[in-house]
């Protein structure tokens, strides 16, 4: 198969590139940055994503850099630990019955190193895709300063503000959440303060819900933050809010913090002629449940498999299938996670917390729930 162009050297673009390279397809990756992004963003790898990355030959290296998270927990601000779900019940469903906690900025250099071992594969930095044209069986990406890159297909994996998506005139409908999300990375050992923490903890509260999760380098706290308050005011009261999670009697040691708007949006089509949209370029969702990067990696692998058949009908079906999963699974699960964490009706909350306790206590119920939250059920038929 002739060259494929990939826009964006994030986790999704590089996964697509490596998956194609391993099938003997030459790939040109166009990256607007001068190097790979170093930002700490997604940090949870679900079991099927680990299977895919292992199949691409990078499983061991990723595991070397990450932390195994065999359980995750639901907590209530007032009541403490509610339930802890153990992914060990998925041992018959996956060879990786756990989450791996590892920042996406540790994945991308591994993908790059493996990609560049393949003849005919390259990454062009400082290459900002600005326009796309399609003629016959060729698609051409153009940079603002007149450079071009040609391929038989273009995969737009250039993130939420995708120029590829805009160049193809594809809509991106959905919602923007009313609050911003504030993520603080702390140089603290939270388990010294709260010994019953799992590596990932979803903490229910009608006002101050939060997520506490461990990465190899830090503990991260994700808090909802009003959209209208100036950033400096929110950063100034961050320590006070963190001391609401746990008060060590001194300020928390914060390595860095950032605030961002969160959207739920899906592109109107994932295939436009010989252009495919993948990852954040195709769909964005809130980070509750860690589905964004994972589902983008699933897009990348599905597209590489489909492109390798050389049959446009198979590619078309793959794009339509990945869009259905984005709409029916990723958007729905992530939004449900958001609604439940912040539920205000005490009776509904109590019922839901009881159902979580019952799920954790029953391996059959736990497996059914974990097949969904681990994304396995979005990818293959599962039996009860």
Ligand X SMILES: Cc1cc2nc3c(=O)[nH]c(=O)nc-3n(C[C@H](O)[C@H](O)[C@H](O)COP(=O)(O)OP(=O)(O)OC[C@H]3O[C@@H](n4cnc5c(N)ncnc54)[C@H](O)[C@@H]3O)c2cc1C
Site of interaction with ligand X (CB under 6 A): 7-13, 30-33, 37, 41-44, 104, 128-129, 157-159, 163, 183, 258, 260, 279-281, 287, 290-294, 296
Least distance in angstroms from the C-beta of 384 to ligand X = 27
DSSP alpha helix (H) spans, 98-230: 104-115, 163-167, 190-193
> What's the CA angle centered on 285, arms 283 and 289, to 5 degrees?
125
- Please give the helix or strand (H or E) that residue 149 lies within, else none: strand 148-151
Question: 284 or 353, CB closer to ligand X?
Answer: 284
- Can you give the length of the chain in residues? 384
Question: 48 or 296, CB closer to ligand X?
Answer: 296
Question: 242 or 278, CB closer to ligand X?
Answer: 278
94 and 47 in contact (C-beta within 8 Å)?
A: yes
Question: 188 or 280, CB closer to ligand X?
Answer: 280
Least distance in angstroms from the C-beta of 280 to ligand X = 4
Residues 209 and 204: their CA atoms lie apart, in Å, by 5
Least distance in angstroms from the C-beta of 294 to ligand X = 5
126 and 133 in contact (C-beta within 8 Å)?
A: no
Least distance in angstroms from the C-beta of 172 to ligand X = 13
DSSP alpha helix (H) spans, the chain: 11-21, 47-55, 59-65, 104-115, 163-167, 190-193, 231-236, 238-245, 292-308, 312-325, 331-341, 346-361, 363-373
Least distance in angstroms from the C-beta of 220 to ligand X = 8
With a CB cutoff of 8 Å and minimum separation 6, the contacts of 212 are 190, 197, 200, 201, 203, 219, 220, 221, 245
Question: 37 or 116, CB closer to ligand X?
Answer: 37
Least distance in angstroms from the C-beta of 345 to ligand X = 27
Question: 31 or 188, CB closer to ligand X?
Answer: 31
- Give strand pairing partners of 28: 5, 122
Least distance in angstroms from the C-beta of 367 to ligand X = 22
291 and 375 in contact (C-beta within 8 Å)?
A: yes
Question: 48 or 353, CB closer to ligand X?
Answer: 48
72 and 99 in contact (C-beta within 8 Å)?
A: yes
Residue 317: both structure tokens together: 């079906």
Could you tell me which of 31, 38, 1, 26 has the C-alpha nearest to residue 13?
31
């Amino acid at each position: 198969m002739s060259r494929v162009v990939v826009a964006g050297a994030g986790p999704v673009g590089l996964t697509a590139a490596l998956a194609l390279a391993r099938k003997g397809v030459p790939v040109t990756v166009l990256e607007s940055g001068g190097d790979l992004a170093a930002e700490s963003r997604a940090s949870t790898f679900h079991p099927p994503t680990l299977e895919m990355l292992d199949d691409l030959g990078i499983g061991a290296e990723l595991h070397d850099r990450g932390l195994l998270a065999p359980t995750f927990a639901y907590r209530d601000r007032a009541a403490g630990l509610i339930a802890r779900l153990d992914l060990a019940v998925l041992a018959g469903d996956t060879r990786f019955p756990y989450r791996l906690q590892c920042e996406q900025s540790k994945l991308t250099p591994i993908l790059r190193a493996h990609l560049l071992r393949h003849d005919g594969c390259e990454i062009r930095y400082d290459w900002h895709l600005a326009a796309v044209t399609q003629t016959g069986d060729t698609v051409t990406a153009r940079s603002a300063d007149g450079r071009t890159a040609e391929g038989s297909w273009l995969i737009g994996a250039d993130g939420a503000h995708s120029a590829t998506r805009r160049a193809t005139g594809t809509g991106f409908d959905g919602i923007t959440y009313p609050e911003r999300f504030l993520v603080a990375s702390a140089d603290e050992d939270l388990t010294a303060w709260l010994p019953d923490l799992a590596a990932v903890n979803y903490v229910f509260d009608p006002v101050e819900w939060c997520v506490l999760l461990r990465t190899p380098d830090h503990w991260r706290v994700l808090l909802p933050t009003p959209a209208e308050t100036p950033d400096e005011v929110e950063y100034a009261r961050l320590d006070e809010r963190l001391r609401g999670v746990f008060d060590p009697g001194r300020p928390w040691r914060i390595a860095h913090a950032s605030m961002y708007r969160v959207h739920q949006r899906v592109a109107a089509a994932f295939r436009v002629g010989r252009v495919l949209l993948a990852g954040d370029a195709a769909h964005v969702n809130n980070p509750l449940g860690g589905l964004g990067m994972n589902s983008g990696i699933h897009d990348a692998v599905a597209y590489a498999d489909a492109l390798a058949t050389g049959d446009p009908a198979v590619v078309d079906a793959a794009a339509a299938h990945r869009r259905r999963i984005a709409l029916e699974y990723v958007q729905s699960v992530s939004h449900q996670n958001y609604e439940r964490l912040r539920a205000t009706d005490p009776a509904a909350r109590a019922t839901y917390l009881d159902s979580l306790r019952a799920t954790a206590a029953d391996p059959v119920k736990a497996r059914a729930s974990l097949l969904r939250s681990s994304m396995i059920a979005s990818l293959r038929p599962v039996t009860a």
